[in-house]
Amino acid sequence: MAAGGPEVLVPATVPRPVPLPTEVLVRVHAAGVNPVDWKIRAGVFPPGGLGAHPFTQGWDVAGVVESGPRVTRFQPGDEVFGLLWFPRQAGGYGEYVTAPARQFARKPASLSFAEAAALPMAGLTAWQTLVDVARVGAGTRVLVTAAAGGVGHLACQIAKHRGAVVTGTASAPKHGFLAGLGVDNAVDYTQVDVSTTVRDQDVVLDLLGGDHTLGLLDTLRPGGLLVLTIGQVSPEVTRAAEARGVRVTPFLVEPDSTGLAAVADLVDREAVRVHVEHILPLAEAGKAHEIGAANRTTGKIVLAVTGT
Protein backbone atom coordinates (compact mmCIF):
# COMPACT_ATOMS: atom_id res chain seq x y z
CA MET A 1 0.00 0.00 0.00
CA ALA A 2 0.92 3.65 -0.44
CA ALA A 3 -0.19 6.32 2.05
CA GLY A 4 -3.74 7.47 1.38
CA GLY A 5 -7.39 6.63 2.00
CA PRO A 6 -8.80 3.20 2.89
CA GLU A 7 -8.74 2.28 -0.81
CA VAL A 8 -4.94 1.94 -0.71
CA LEU A 9 -5.37 -1.25 1.32
CA VAL A 10 -5.31 -3.93 -1.36
CA PRO A 11 -4.62 -7.67 -1.28
CA ALA A 12 -1.14 -8.62 -2.45
CA THR A 13 0.94 -11.77 -2.76
CA VAL A 14 4.21 -11.52 -0.86
CA PRO A 15 6.88 -14.07 0.05
CA ARG A 16 6.27 -16.06 3.21
CA PRO A 17 8.63 -14.65 5.88
CA VAL A 18 11.43 -16.90 7.10
CA PRO A 19 12.15 -16.99 10.83
CA LEU A 20 15.69 -16.51 12.10
CA PRO A 21 16.87 -18.46 15.14
CA THR A 22 14.89 -17.28 18.24
CA GLU A 23 11.97 -16.24 16.00
CA VAL A 24 8.75 -18.08 15.30
CA LEU A 25 6.79 -18.29 12.08
CA VAL A 26 3.10 -17.89 12.91
CA ARG A 27 0.10 -18.54 10.69
CA VAL A 28 -2.15 -15.57 11.44
CA HIS A 29 -5.80 -16.38 12.10
CA ALA A 30 -6.85 -12.88 13.15
CA ALA A 31 -5.32 -9.40 13.24
CA GLY A 32 -6.34 -6.57 15.54
CA VAL A 33 -7.02 -3.12 14.10
CA ASN A 34 -5.84 -0.06 16.04
CA PRO A 35 -6.07 3.72 15.55
CA VAL A 36 -2.37 3.83 14.75
CA ASP A 37 -3.14 1.64 11.72
CA TRP A 38 -5.31 4.24 9.99
CA LYS A 39 -3.00 7.05 11.08
CA ILE A 40 -0.09 5.21 9.42
CA ARG A 41 -2.16 4.34 6.36
CA ALA A 42 -3.12 7.99 5.93
CA GLY A 43 0.51 9.02 6.33
CA VAL A 44 -0.04 11.25 9.36
CA PHE A 45 2.02 9.09 11.74
CA PRO A 46 4.86 8.67 12.37
CA PRO A 47 6.77 11.59 10.86
CA GLY A 48 8.78 10.05 8.05
CA GLY A 49 6.53 7.00 7.90
CA LEU A 50 7.50 3.39 8.45
CA GLY A 51 9.71 3.06 5.40
CA ALA A 52 9.23 2.38 1.72
CA HIS A 53 5.78 1.58 0.34
CA PRO A 54 4.13 -0.77 -0.31
CA PHE A 55 4.15 -2.75 2.94
CA THR A 56 1.80 -4.88 4.99
CA GLN A 57 0.17 -3.14 7.94
CA GLY A 58 -0.74 -4.48 11.35
CA TRP A 59 0.88 -5.27 14.70
CA ASP A 60 -1.70 -7.32 16.63
CA VAL A 61 -1.99 -10.98 15.72
CA ALA A 62 -3.34 -14.26 17.03
CA GLY A 63 -2.45 -17.50 15.31
CA VAL A 64 -0.66 -20.83 15.36
CA VAL A 65 3.08 -21.47 15.51
CA GLU A 66 4.34 -23.20 12.35
CA SER A 67 8.04 -23.35 13.19
CA GLY A 68 10.66 -21.76 15.43
CA PRO A 69 14.30 -22.59 14.87
CA ARG A 70 16.09 -22.89 18.24
CA VAL A 71 13.01 -21.59 20.04
CA THR A 72 12.35 -23.35 23.34
CA ARG A 73 9.18 -21.61 24.56
CA PHE A 74 6.84 -22.72 21.79
CA GLN A 75 6.24 -25.79 19.64
CA PRO A 76 4.58 -26.03 16.23
CA GLY A 77 0.84 -26.05 16.79
CA ASP A 78 0.90 -23.75 19.84
CA GLU A 79 -1.75 -21.01 19.81
CA VAL A 80 -0.18 -17.62 20.45
CA PHE A 81 -0.90 -13.92 20.26
CA GLY A 82 1.25 -10.81 20.33
CA LEU A 83 2.08 -7.20 19.60
CA LEU A 84 4.94 -7.59 17.13
CA TRP A 85 7.92 -5.37 16.37
CA PHE A 86 6.10 -2.15 17.30
CA PRO A 87 6.76 0.55 16.16
CA ARG A 88 8.61 -1.08 13.24
CA GLN A 89 6.66 -2.72 10.42
CA ALA A 90 5.33 -6.12 11.44
CA GLY A 91 3.01 -7.22 8.62
CA GLY A 92 0.30 -8.32 11.02
CA TYR A 93 -2.42 -8.24 8.34
CA GLY A 94 -0.48 -10.93 6.47
CA GLU A 95 -1.19 -14.66 6.43
CA TYR A 96 2.17 -15.35 8.08
CA VAL A 97 4.40 -13.31 10.38
CA THR A 98 7.77 -13.85 11.98
CA ALA A 99 8.89 -12.19 15.19
CA PRO A 100 11.03 -12.99 18.23
CA ALA A 101 9.40 -15.74 20.24
CA ARG A 102 9.49 -13.48 23.29
CA GLN A 103 7.13 -11.01 21.65
CA PHE A 104 4.40 -13.68 21.82
CA ALA A 105 2.45 -15.18 24.69
CA ARG A 106 0.13 -18.16 24.78
CA LYS A 107 -3.35 -17.31 23.59
CA PRO A 108 -5.81 -17.27 26.49
CA ALA A 109 -7.51 -20.65 26.31
CA SER A 110 -10.92 -19.09 26.84
CA LEU A 111 -10.67 -16.78 23.79
CA SER A 112 -11.23 -17.24 20.08
CA PHE A 113 -8.45 -16.10 17.76
CA ALA A 114 -10.45 -12.96 16.95
CA GLU A 115 -10.83 -12.07 20.62
CA ALA A 116 -7.15 -12.76 21.28
CA ALA A 117 -6.11 -10.57 18.33
CA ALA A 118 -8.07 -7.71 19.89
CA LEU A 119 -5.93 -7.75 23.01
CA PRO A 120 -2.22 -7.11 22.40
CA MET A 121 -1.83 -3.39 21.66
CA ALA A 122 -4.84 -2.23 23.66
CA GLY A 123 -4.21 -4.62 26.55
CA LEU A 124 -0.50 -3.86 26.75
CA THR A 125 -1.17 -0.12 26.59
CA ALA A 126 -3.56 -0.47 29.51
CA TRP A 127 -1.23 -2.76 31.46
CA GLN A 128 1.99 -0.83 30.87
CA THR A 129 0.45 2.58 31.62
CA LEU A 130 -1.50 1.57 34.72
CA VAL A 131 0.81 -1.06 36.20
CA ASP A 132 4.35 -0.33 35.00
CA VAL A 133 4.15 3.47 34.75
CA ALA A 134 1.47 4.62 37.21
CA ARG A 135 1.63 1.68 39.66
CA VAL A 136 -2.11 1.73 40.21
CA GLY A 137 -3.18 -0.19 43.31
CA ALA A 138 -5.86 -0.39 45.96
CA GLY A 139 -7.67 2.92 46.36
CA THR A 140 -5.87 4.72 43.51
CA ARG A 141 -8.28 7.15 41.90
CA VAL A 142 -7.99 6.70 38.13
CA LEU A 143 -9.64 8.68 35.35
CA VAL A 144 -9.81 6.74 32.08
CA THR A 145 -10.74 8.87 29.07
CA ALA A 146 -12.37 7.23 26.02
CA ALA A 147 -13.26 4.49 28.48
CA ALA A 148 -15.50 2.55 26.07
CA GLY A 149 -12.82 2.21 23.38
CA GLY A 150 -10.25 -0.50 22.78
CA VAL A 151 -7.68 0.63 25.33
CA GLY A 152 -10.20 2.24 27.65
CA HIS A 153 -12.42 -0.78 28.26
CA LEU A 154 -9.44 -2.94 29.15
CA ALA A 155 -7.86 -0.21 31.28
CA CYS A 156 -11.02 0.21 33.34
CA GLN A 157 -11.11 -3.50 34.12
CA ILE A 158 -7.40 -3.78 34.92
CA ALA A 159 -7.61 -0.75 37.22
CA LYS A 160 -10.70 -2.19 38.95
CA HIS A 161 -8.98 -5.54 39.38
CA ARG A 162 -6.14 -3.76 41.17
CA GLY A 163 -8.56 -2.09 43.54
CA ALA A 164 -8.68 1.37 41.98
CA VAL A 165 -11.64 3.74 42.05
CA VAL A 166 -12.33 4.29 38.36
CA THR A 167 -13.98 7.20 36.60
CA GLY A 168 -14.54 6.75 32.87
CA THR A 169 -15.62 9.18 30.17
CA ALA A 170 -18.01 8.10 27.41
CA SER A 171 -21.21 9.28 25.77
CA ALA A 172 -24.36 8.37 27.72
CA PRO A 173 -25.45 5.36 25.58
CA LYS A 174 -22.22 3.64 26.61
CA HIS A 175 -22.65 4.10 30.37
CA GLY A 176 -24.31 0.69 30.69
CA PHE A 177 -21.24 -0.82 29.02
CA LEU A 178 -18.99 1.03 31.49
CA ALA A 179 -21.07 -0.21 34.42
CA GLY A 180 -20.52 -3.77 33.17
CA LEU A 181 -16.78 -3.13 33.31
CA GLY A 182 -17.07 -2.13 36.96
CA VAL A 183 -16.52 1.60 36.39
CA ASP A 184 -17.49 3.52 39.54
CA ASN A 185 -18.31 6.88 37.94
CA ALA A 186 -19.31 7.33 34.31
CA VAL A 187 -19.05 10.88 32.97
CA ASP A 188 -20.87 11.93 29.81
CA TYR A 189 -18.28 14.14 28.18
CA THR A 190 -20.86 15.36 25.65
CA GLN A 191 -22.92 16.98 28.41
CA VAL A 192 -20.39 18.15 30.99
CA ASP A 193 -16.90 19.57 30.96
CA VAL A 194 -14.72 16.76 32.31
CA SER A 195 -12.04 19.24 33.40
CA THR A 196 -14.42 20.96 35.82
CA THR A 197 -16.52 17.92 36.82
CA VAL A 198 -13.83 15.42 37.81
CA ARG A 199 -11.44 16.23 40.67
CA ASP A 200 -8.67 14.76 42.85
CA GLN A 201 -7.54 11.97 40.58
CA ASP A 202 -4.24 10.24 41.33
CA VAL A 203 -3.85 9.08 37.73
CA VAL A 204 -5.31 10.19 34.40
CA LEU A 205 -4.99 7.88 31.41
CA ASP A 206 -5.20 10.41 28.58
CA LEU A 207 -6.35 8.56 25.46
CA LEU A 208 -7.49 11.78 23.77
CA GLY A 209 -4.48 14.11 23.69
CA GLY A 210 -4.53 17.36 21.71
CA ASP A 211 -6.68 20.09 23.19
CA HIS A 212 -8.03 17.75 25.88
CA THR A 213 -4.78 17.35 27.80
CA LEU A 214 -4.59 20.82 29.34
CA GLY A 215 -8.07 20.51 30.83
CA LEU A 216 -7.40 17.00 32.09
CA LEU A 217 -4.55 18.37 34.22
CA ASP A 218 -7.24 20.08 36.32
CA THR A 219 -8.72 16.70 37.28
CA LEU A 220 -5.52 15.65 39.09
CA ARG A 221 -4.72 16.08 42.77
CA PRO A 222 -1.42 17.85 43.50
CA GLY A 223 1.37 15.40 42.65
CA GLY A 224 -0.97 13.30 40.47
CA LEU A 225 0.18 11.82 37.17
CA LEU A 226 -1.23 12.19 33.66
CA VAL A 227 -0.06 9.52 31.19
CA LEU A 228 -0.27 10.92 27.65
CA THR A 229 -0.67 8.23 24.99
CA ILE A 230 -0.86 10.52 21.97
CA GLY A 231 2.10 12.55 20.76
CA GLN A 232 4.67 14.43 22.75
CA VAL A 233 4.10 16.57 25.84
CA SER A 234 3.93 20.13 24.52
CA PRO A 235 5.81 22.99 26.21
CA GLU A 236 2.41 24.49 27.08
CA VAL A 237 1.33 21.32 28.89
CA THR A 238 4.70 21.06 30.63
CA ARG A 239 4.37 24.64 31.92
CA ALA A 240 0.76 24.12 33.00
CA ALA A 241 1.65 20.90 34.84
CA GLU A 242 4.47 22.65 36.69
CA ALA A 243 2.16 25.50 37.65
CA ARG A 244 -0.41 23.04 39.02
CA GLY A 245 2.11 20.80 40.77
CA VAL A 246 1.15 17.72 38.75
CA ARG A 247 3.19 15.34 36.60
CA VAL A 248 2.88 14.36 32.94
CA THR A 249 4.63 11.55 31.11
CA PRO A 250 4.41 10.54 27.46
CA PHE A 251 3.93 6.87 26.70
CA LEU A 252 4.44 4.53 23.74
CA VAL A 253 3.52 0.86 24.04
CA GLU A 254 6.23 -1.81 23.67
CA PRO A 255 6.13 -5.50 22.72
CA ASP A 256 6.11 -7.32 26.05
CA SER A 257 5.37 -11.02 26.50
CA THR A 258 5.40 -10.68 30.28
CA GLY A 259 2.72 -8.00 30.24
CA LEU A 260 0.79 -9.98 27.67
CA ALA A 261 0.87 -13.10 29.82
CA ALA A 262 -0.37 -11.03 32.76
CA VAL A 263 -3.30 -9.74 30.70
CA ALA A 264 -3.99 -13.27 29.41
CA ASP A 265 -4.06 -14.54 32.98
CA LEU A 266 -6.65 -11.89 33.94
CA VAL A 267 -8.73 -12.91 30.94
CA ASP A 268 -8.56 -16.60 31.76
CA ARG A 269 -9.55 -15.79 35.37
CA GLU A 270 -12.49 -13.75 34.04
CA ALA A 271 -11.22 -10.58 35.72
CA VAL A 272 -10.98 -8.93 32.29
CA ARG A 273 -13.13 -9.51 29.23
CA VAL A 274 -12.36 -8.23 25.78
CA HIS A 275 -15.22 -6.78 23.76
CA VAL A 276 -15.00 -7.14 19.96
CA GLU A 277 -17.60 -4.98 18.26
CA HIS A 278 -16.65 -5.74 14.64
CA ILE A 279 -15.04 -8.76 12.96
CA LEU A 280 -14.43 -8.23 9.24
CA PRO A 281 -12.72 -10.38 6.63
CA LEU A 282 -9.20 -9.33 5.70
CA ALA A 283 -10.45 -8.21 2.28
CA GLU A 284 -12.47 -5.53 4.07
CA ALA A 285 -9.52 -3.98 5.89
CA GLY A 286 -10.36 -0.61 4.33
CA LYS A 287 -13.87 -0.76 5.72
CA ALA A 288 -12.45 -1.69 9.14
CA HIS A 289 -10.30 1.43 8.99
CA GLU A 290 -13.28 3.58 8.02
CA ILE A 291 -15.33 2.28 10.92
CA GLY A 292 -12.45 2.80 13.33
CA ALA A 293 -11.59 6.28 12.13
CA ALA A 294 -15.15 7.39 12.92
CA ASN A 295 -13.95 7.19 16.55
CA ARG A 296 -17.12 5.60 17.95
CA THR A 297 -16.02 1.97 18.38
CA THR A 298 -17.04 0.18 21.55
CA GLY A 299 -14.18 -2.18 22.34
CA LYS A 300 -12.27 -3.45 19.34
CA ILE A 301 -12.21 -4.12 15.58
CA VAL A 302 -10.59 -7.31 14.29
CA LEU A 303 -9.78 -8.74 10.84
CA ALA A 304 -10.31 -12.45 10.35
CA VAL A 305 -7.32 -13.42 8.25
CA THR A 306 -7.99 -17.14 7.74
CA GLY A 307 -11.72 -17.19 8.34
CA THR A 308 -11.61 -18.33 11.97
Cβ distance to ligand NAP smaller for residue 152 or 224: 152
- Looking at the Cβ atoms of 8 and 133, the one nearer to ligand NAP is 133
CB of 13 to ligand NAP, least distance (A): 30
Give me the residues that bind ligand NAP (CB under 6 A), please.
Answer: 34-36, 121-122, 125, 145-146, 148-152, 169-171, 174, 189, 207-208, 229-230, 251-253, 292, 295-298
Shorter beta-carbon distance to ligand NAP: residue 35 or 94: 35
Consecutive H or E run containing 125: helix 120-127
Q: How far is the CB of 117 from ligand NAP (least distance, A)?
A: 13
| Integer Cα distance of 178 and 161 in angstroms | 14
What contacts 94, CB < 8 A, 6 or more positions away?
Answer: 14, 17, 28, 56, 58, 305
Task: Name which of 148 and 220 has its Cβ closer to ligand NAP.
Answer: 148
Contacts of 102 (CB under 8 A, 6+ apart): 22, 73, 257
Q: How far is CA 200 from CA 90, 146, 165, in A?
A: 40, 19, 11
**In the complex, minimum distance from the CB of residue 70 to ligand NAP, in angstroms, rounded to a whole number:** 31
Minimum separation from the CB atom of position 212 to ligand NAP (A): 7
d(CA 28, CA 305): 6
Q: Are 163 and 137 in contact (CB under 8 A)?
A: yes
Q: How far is the CB of 12 from ligand NAP (least distance, A)?
A: 25
Q: How far is the CB of 233 from ligand NAP (least distance, A)?
A: 12
Nearer to ligand NAP, 123 or 224 (CB): 123
Task: Tell me the CA end-to-end span of the chain in Å, nearest whole number.
Answer: 25
* Pairwise CA distance, residues 155 & 132, whole Å: 13
Q: Which residue is nearest to ligand NAP (CB)?
A: 149
| Shortest separation between residue 300's beta carbon and ligand NAP, angstroms | 7
Output 96 or 127, the one with its CB closest to ligand NAP.
Answer: 127
Evaluate the omega torsion of the peptide bond into residue 87 and state whether it is cis, within 30 degrees of 0: yes
The DSSP bridge pattern shows strands 79-83 and 60-67 to be antiparallel
Residue 23 or 141: which CB sits closer to ligand NAP? 141
